[in-house]
Amino acid sequence: MDKSTLPGIVVGLSGILIGAILEGTKPGSLVMLPAFLIVIVGTLGTVMVSFPMGVVASLPKYFAIAAKAKHHNVNEVVETFVRLSDRARREGLLALEQEAAGLEPFASRGIQMVVDGTDPTLVREVLESDVDSMRERHKHGSAVFEAMGGYSPTMGIIGTVMGLVHVLENLANPDELGHLIAAAFIATLYGVMFANCIFLPMGTKLKIKSAEEVHHKELIVEGVLAVQAGDNPRMVRDKLEAFLPPKLRSGAGDAAKGGASGGAQQAAA
């Protein structure tokens, strides 16, 4: 599981609950089924109007994607293509057909096109079209949660207005007005809380995960093209490591050691 998604939701909701209790609010007074139904069911209905049913039905899947950890080992991708380039230069591109079967599907597809002698421009177009298609699919997940984050507070206001109408109907009973008014505003609390603790953060998390996967596949595209171009392994490494943050590049550890060693020598001098 992702180390921040579900714990973050728990921390956010717990902070609100504990803060309310410290202010003297009774926990039971925050639980109100009618307000919950107005916000959640109302938000779900507006999302159904806004998005195709297939997207709405995929909400549990999108939630699972956001809550599940998926690590992209970019250094392993670099090392894989350095190895492939070395073998291609020694044995020819046809020797990579055996290697393709052991790669992840996207990389395997690219290497197979290279082995088949596909024009480099077409290889890039096909792989980048695949990446663009994936990016568009991913937009649905973040968009639906962001929409829920926009609709949820509005549903809360609707619930509050409905509660205040009930308050006005009971003006003849002053003893009940305080309770009724407090209950009316629970819907607004639910709407704003769900939007800012769950829906909008989930949309942001899905955007981040999509960007990470796009970056991973763009790295593979460049690796495939570098192998096809016959670049030497050192050049392939330099090309691909340009996509990585400095701390993940192969020379980062040596540079850090060199800097520390140089500093020690200067201090000794």
Q: Cα(228)–Cα(217) distance, rounded to whole angstroms?
A: 17
Token output for 3: 């180390």
Domain that holds residue 205: 33-248
Domain presence at residue 258: no
* Nearest in space to 170 (alpha carbons), one of 157, 158, 183, 159: 183
Identify whether the C-beta of residue 186 lies closer than 8 Å to the C-beta of residue 161: no
Beta-carbon contacts of 240 under 8 Å, excluding residues fewer than 6 positions away, are 77, 78, 81, 82, 219, 222, 223, 226
Domain presence at residue 131: yes
Predicted confidence (pLDDT) at residue 256 exceeds the cutoff of 50:
no
Q: pLDDT value at position 76?
A: 92
Pairwise pLDDT comparison (260 vs 137), residue with the higher score: 137
pTM of the full structure: 0.83
Q: pLDDT value at position 2?
A: 82
Q: Cα(3)–Cα(138) distance, rounded to whole angstroms?
A: 21
Domain presence at residue 60: yes
Domain presence at residue 257: no
Domain presence at residue 22: no
Domain presence at residue 14: no
Domain presence at residue 83: yes
Domain presence at residue 158: yes
Q: pLDDT value at position 268?
A: 41
Number of domains the chain contains = 1
Q: Rounded to an integer, what is the distance from CA 267 to the centroid of its chain?
A: 46
